[in-house]
Amino acid sequence: MSNTVYTALVEPYATEIFARRKAMDNPSSNAHTVIGVLPMKFNRTRQSKINNDLIITGANALP
């Protein structure tokens, strides 16, 4: 009898904790993905600007 009462009290709490943890797994995973992609995008954009500057400088240096 006491085991049934204990289970009735603990099970909803455990289910709630599991649901909260599961709900936070997806945002955490997405954050790691974004953190991995942003430096690559930044570096590509920076390199593109450098390339454009080199092309313009080279074109201006021609007689």
Among residues 25, 7, 3, which one has the least CA distance to residue 15? 7
pLDDT of the residue at 28? 84
**Each residue's pLDDT tens digit, 34-59:** 898 999 999 999 999 999 999 999 99
What's the number of CA atoms in the CB half-sphere (13 Å) around residue 32?
A: 5
Name the token pair of 18.
């599991």
Between CA 55 and CA 60 the distance in angstroms is 9
Q: Which helix (H) or strand (E) holds 57?
A: helix 2-61
0.85 exceeded by pTM: no
